Structure 1
Amino acid sequence: MSESQKTSALWRLSDRGRTVLSTLLSEHGIDYLFVLDGQGSVLSCGGQAGQHLPGLVPPSAAPTHLRDLMHPDDYPPLWTLLMATGAQATAVPTAVPLGPYRVRGPGGTWRWLQGSALNLLGHPEVRATVLSAHDVTALKAAELEQEALGTLLRQTTAGHALPQLLEGVARTVDEQLPRHFCAVFLWQSGLSLAAAPGAPHDFAGLFPPWLDEAFPSPAGPRAGAALPAEVTPAALTAPLRRRGICEVTSMPLLGRHGQYLGALALYRYAEGPLAPGAVEVLTHARRLITVAAEQHRLNRQLDHQAHHDMLTGLPNRRLFTDRWRRTLGPRRMPGQQPGLMFLDLDHFKEINDTLGHLEGDEVLRLVAGRLAACLRPHETLARLGGDEFGIILPHTDAQAAAGLAQRLLGALSPPLQVGEAELYLGASVGILLVDDDEQDVQTTLRYADTAMYQAKQRRNTFVFFEPEMTRQSRERLHLVSLLRRAAGRPHETFGVVYQPQVRLVDGVTVGTEALLRWTPPELGPVSPELFVPLAEETGLIVPIGEWVLAQACAQGAACSCREPMRVAVNVSALQFSRPDFVATVERWLERSGLDPARLELELTERVVLDDVGKSAARMADLRGLGVRLALDDFGTGYSSLSCLSRLPLNTLKIDRSFVRGLETDSPSAAVVRAIIALARSFGLGTVAEGIETPAECRTLQALGCETGQGYLFGRPQSPTDLPCAVARRPSAVFPV
């Protein structure tokens, strides 16, 4: 068929079929219509692909072939399908579903279409294939955006670098908008270039200053935050214009809560208005970039939270251990001696218990600041948990480590002001210097902890790790294990013995003090000076102390002595601080039947004077039960007259250290005389501990002390032997 014949046939078709084809466009919502001959030449087209006409355009205005309209990736499979359906022409029209596929729309942008092909090649008057299609660009864009978002999230979660992700988005923009290139700027302390894969190679050095002027701060960009901002050629820098860049369109990047993240810019090499669809492409890219930037920031926040202490902002134990592992790694230089420090605050638990956890948290923040100020940039300070801190010294020696430990202790010596409280803190520091051949992380951490534990025995000092400490540490661990087992079955290895308390004027036994003894079969008798501090450190003193109280009440009630005697029981700080302590005492008194007036609870100065108001209230509740109260080891702490006057006490116990010096040390006699006078002024009784010689006893008698206790009057006895011990009196002091 000649060209003139083809044209004539087309217009015969148009005369007869224009109405039908127009109906397809208008009534069925069809956006595009193409009429093709058997070789794919476009006889005519309608809708947006032509001139936005409801009908057809003459062949001179139509593209010459379908391949000229379609995206090069979509044409081959679609044409193969059309060839297959049109291989045999029939008189009965057949429709074949097509799409989605892309055609070039107005301005050269790609539009996504989906529809069908109607085979009219067998029609004697038409002999053509008619393609009808809906524009599904918006739906396809949403679908592709969701796919892209999913890919971005997966890549971000998998740890892909943010610049790599942003370059991928920018490259997609460049592919969709020829004669343009996309650049992404992110805000940190200012805008900085993050990605521009299609830019000139020296683009980073040509940073356009107008971007900072357009979006000056993270407080928010200027007006039009949600819309593109056109930049006139005059605003472009001369180097950009010399590289052929004529215009720029920019958009701010805003987070989901409106926070400013950066800017997206589209650079054009051709003057004139934006290409149709460019705003949609930019908006799509902005959403992807925003998701990637926010997800990256979220991942960084989660990573920071996983490796840092939320209270102080310092590295946590996990990050600390990882850095220490790298410090000990194979890349360590020969002769480089890494150092490790563990620091634990002394008596921090008492601050928490007295002031509360909020004030305790503030103390930890202030301590962290003081410690950090002592370190150099390459050294690591971490909070390992509770009131324990760790320090990594990548290269040090004994002299430098000791100097740093002294500076750390010195930094903590000035008082801390927390609310209205002025607090004085000390710390115990364990130091480990690592030999060249030592690379085991957990072993070195354990050594530093062992050194710190040794320092805590003396408080407010530092101790270097020595190999001998590992043996001591193992022994301590074994002892704690045995003690924990004994606390669960106290009747098997614990026992209570009683030391008499005598009236110094006549030697009559008026009371006893219950003392705990422990004899594990693996070790034999263990000194209370060794196991009681361990019980207090581990908290086992609470169940053990309650067991002693129960035994003292039961055995005191069953005592066969001729005269009823008081029984004194020591109470630890942990026991006394428990809210149910008063109820516990009441319960064991009721179960045993012991007269409450015969039970005396001994409290140390440190226990009751940390919070005098709370202690006084609890002591009043105990006195309400009829129980007597004694202040133990009086004179060794920091009692004051004002505090003493608020406490409902019955007795002051004079510490053995003053009794021991009575014969040779006149200051000790003066202290004892003052304590006895103070007790009398408050109407309190006195008990002197640790009396071992008749001379000590006579001196105390002369000073007016009422009651004495010590080896002079008898060693601690079992409940069965106590009546016989009570009947004996030292003749050197109390003649028969």
Structure 2
Amino acid sequence: MLQDVYALTPATARLDPISRLPDRVQFAADLEKLACQHPGQSRTLVLVDALDMAWAHGMTLAMGLAPFEDIIRCITSRLHEQLDGVVQVYHIGVKRFGFVLAATGDDFPAFIEGLVDSLRRPILLDSLPIRPTVRAGSVDFALNTEAVGDVLRKAMYAGELALRAGLRWAPFDPVRDAAYRRAFYLLADIAEALADGQLSLRFQPRFAIADGAQVSAEVLLRWQHPRLGAVSPAEFIPVLERNGMIHEVTRWVIDSALVRLAQWQGQTFGQLSINLSPMDFDGHDVSGTLRRLCHAHGIDPQRLEVEITEGEWLRSNPRVLGELAQIRALGIDVAIDDFGSGYSNFSYLHEIPANVVKLDQSMVTGIEGNPRYQKIARSILNLARELGYRTVAEGVETFRCLQMIREFGCDEAQGYFFAKPMDEGQFLAWSESGVFPLAQ
């Protein structure tokens, strides 16, 4: 493994006041100088994160700033022991150190993991052994082709990957980085999307299997991003859930759906079914929101259904069960979505204040060629019917699939065999045509 050695003049170098190492500004200046001397050559930046942010914050609250600074000095000393005369170490941030290698070989993983192990040795502070939560990230780059800030960002993201995976060290992953950055920008853009009409609704009809009558339509959310184009809900919904913004979007969906229902008074397609996220129940009055919005738009709550995904989050939260009971008391149907997807437990089914069970789409789609799915589907439908639930199969794509769920006693069906999700105009025209596949 070849290394770059930077000979800095202490009199002119910018030094961190705690570690007395060259700081980030000096690092940027040195890297630019190196790029001028060796344009296009490959290098590897290694960033060492001395302490987990949450842990460091807790320690400073408990012990003050002085012990934190002592740890930084100790880490600096250990880096000198391991790397002095080999590479120049920089104090890049409050708890981050960095150095640049000219080239790395097969021994690099062992080298960097050994370095992290040496830095993780306990540090004795006031007779209390502190074990630094050190991790490292690295990124390969070409001199004079990337901004210093972006190289640092990539190395920091690599360190974050190490933290998430519980590893000592991780290399930069461009695919995961692109997905992470895209998710970040989607989150930043959601407020503008709500205000500028980038979000829209689609409607997918649902039918009674007995006579082919359209009984409801599921409301589906779509995002047409001005730069990224169509963004799948499977991508942006989890981003909103992780960052606590899903409630605003759900409220927009409910309000927009009720506006449509108010405009469509007299239409005979039945209910609109709206998906709720588990995060919608996190400190929010969902039943109150539904009650107020139905009243504001003059909509009978019985024209609504809400869909929730059954899982441990639901069964272990009495407050959520209470919210669902209040929603049912309003006259709104409650459907357990994706039942049979792996989390479902028959023993809890009767405890959930719901009156509709939707069979998981993956099971329905694969039911024709999978005897195991057939047995599971038949069992779920039989039990749900005995407990008084209305049953729905979503993901019906073929006539044979429809025949099978009819034989199993399912009440309603939804899927591409009948109709794909449609915009408002298409949905209204389609509903008014009276052409329902099961009625023919």
TM-score w.r.t. the length of structure 2 is 0.67
Name the structure 1 match of 2:120. Answer: 379
Q: Following superposition of structure 1 onto structure 2, how do residues 604-619 of structure 1 map, counting pairs within 5 Å?
A: 604-606=309-311, 608-619=313-324
Where does residue 391 of structure 1 map in the other structure? 133
* Structure 2 residue aligned with 1:478: 185
- Tell me, yes or no, if structure 1 residue 334 matches structure 2 residue 41: no
- The Cα of 1:611 is off from its aligned counterpart by 2.1
Does the 8 A contact of 1:499 with 1:717 survive in 2? yes
Work out the CA distance in 1 between the residues paired with 2:149 and 2:70.
13
Q: Note closer, same or farther for the CA distance 1:558–1:640 as it changes in structure 2 (3 Å cut).
A: same
- In the other structure, the counterpart of 2:225 is 520
Secondary structure of the corresponding residue to residue 514 of structure 1: strand
Q: Is the counterpart of residue 573 in structure 1 residue 325 in structure 2?
A: no
Partner Cα distance (1:724, 1:712) in 2:
18
The letter for the 1-side match of 2:182 is: E
Aligned 1:192-231 pairs, distance under 5 A: none
1:308 to 46, 56, 59: 59
For residues 703 and 668 of structure 1, what CA distance do their matches in structure 2 show?
12
- Structure 2 residue aligned with 1:642: 347
Within the candidate set 243, 258, 282, 1:538 is matched to 243
- CA RMSD for the aligned pairs? 4.2
Structure 2: distance between partners of 1:436 and 1:522:
28
> Does residue 1:584 correspond to 2:280, yes or no?
no
In 2: Cα distance, 1:463 partner to 1:334 partner:
22
Spell out, residue by residue over 1:225-273, the C-alpha distance to the aligned partner (whole angstroms, 9 max, x if none).
Answer: xxxxxxxxxxxxxxxxxxxxxxxxxxxxxxxxxxxxxxxxxxxxxxxxx
* Residue equivalent to 2:253: 548
In 2, the alpha carbon distance for the partners of 1:721 and 1:688 equals: 23
* Structure 1 residue 609: Cα displacement: 2.5
1:465 to 172, 179, 182: 172
Q: CA deviation at 1:473?
A: 3.5
Q: Please list the CA deviations of residues 663-714 of structure 1 after superposition, one character each: whole Å capped at 9, or x if unmatched.
A: 1101111111111012112100111111111111111111111111111111
Residues 334 and 501 from structure 1, CA distance in 2 versus in 1: closer, same or farther, beyond 3 angstroms?
A: same
Q: Report how far residue 501 of structure 1 moved.
A: 0.6
- Identity value in percent: 27
Structure 1 residue 580: deviation in Å?
2.1
Structure 2 residue identity aligned to 1:695: R
Shift of 1:516: 0.5
- The letter of the residue matching 2:255 is A
TM-score in terms of structure 1 length: 0.42
Contact 1:603–1:630 under 8 Å retained in 2: yes
The structural deviation recorded for 1:468 is 4.5
Q: 1:652 aligns with which of 354, 357, 361?
A: 357
Match of residue 326, structure 2, among 621, 640, 643: 621
Instruction: Supply the distance in 2 between the matched residues of 1:505 and 1:546 (Cα, whole angstroms).
Output: 34
Q: Aligned partner of 1:688: which letter?
A: A
- Is 1:692 matched with 2:397? yes
Counterpart of 2:274, as a letter, is V
User: In the alignment, what sits opposite 1:177?
Assistant: none
In 2, Cα distance between equivalents of 1:639 and 1:312: 46
- 1:669 counterpart = 2:410: no
Q: Which has the higher contact order (CA 8 A, sep 6+)?
A: 2
Counterpart of 2:413 in structure 1: which amino acid? G
Please give the alpha-carbon distance, in whole angstroms, between the structure 2 residues aligned to 1:306 and 1:530.
32
CA contact (8 A) 1:513 1:569 kept: yes
Three-state SS of the structure 2 residue aligned to 1:704 is coil
Matches within 5 A, 1:266-281: none
- Structure 1 CA distance for aligned equivalents of residues 396 and 356 of structure 2: 17
| 1:1-31 CA-partner distances (Å, limit 9, x unpaired) | xxxxxxxxxxxxxxxxxxxxxxxxxxxxxxx
Report the residue type matching 1:476 in the other structure: A
State the distance in 1 between where 2:383 and 2:322 align.
22
Please report how far the alpha carbon of residue 720 of structure 1 lies from its aligned counterpart in structure 2 after TM superposition.
2.6
Looking at structure 2, the residues matched to 379 and 454 of structure 1 have their Cα atoms a distance apart, in angstroms, of 15
**In structure 1, what is the Cα distance between the partners aligned to 2:140 and 2:84?**
11
Instruction: Map 1:30-49 to 2 at 5 A.
Output: none
CA distance in 2, matches of 1:501, 1:315: 65
- Aligned AA (1:500): P
Distance in 2 (CA, whole Å) between partners of 1:468 and 1:318 is 36
Once the two structures are TM-superposed, the CA of residue 434 in structure 1 deviates from its matched residue by 6.5
Asked if structure 2 preserves the Cα contact closer than 8 Å seen for 1:560 and 1:723, the reply is no
How much has 1:497 moved relative to structure 2? 1.2
The answer to whether the 8 A contact 2:137-2:171 is kept is yes
Q: Against the structure 1 CA distance between its residues 460 and 698, is the aligned structure 2 distance closer, same or farther, given a 3 Å change threshold?
A: farther
Q: Distance in 1 between matches of 2:359 and 2:252?
A: 26
Give the letter aligned to residue 716 of structure 1. P
Change in Cα spacing, 1:485 to 1:707, as seen in structure 2 (3 Å) is same
Q: Structure 1 residues 689, 535: CA separation in 2 closer, same or farther (over 3 Å shift)?
A: same
Q: Deviations over 1:623-681 (max 9, x none)?
A: 12111111111112433333221221110111111011111101111111111012112
Aligned partner of 1:270 in structure 2 is: none
What's the CA shift string for 1:280-314, capped at 9, x where partnerless? xxxxxxxxxxxxxxxxxxxxxxxx99782557999
Structure exhibiting the larger radius of gyration computed from Cα positions? 1
CA contact (8 A) 1:307 1:318 kept: no
Q: Would you say how many aligned residue pairs link Structure 1 and Structure 2?
A: 348
Alpha carbons 2:120, 2:132 under 8 Å: kept: no
Shift of 1:556: 2.1
Q: Runs of 5+ in structure 1 lacking a partner?
A: 1-158, 160-303, 339-374, 383-388, 394-430
CA distance in 2, matches of 1:656, 1:482: 31
User: Is the alpha carbon distance of 1:608 and 1:472 closer, same or farther for their aligned partners in structure 2, counting shifts above 3 Å?
Assistant: closer
Shift of 1:594: 1.4
SS in 2 for 1:647: coil
Instruction: Give, as a single letter, the amino acid of the residue that structure 2 aligns with 1:624.
Output: A
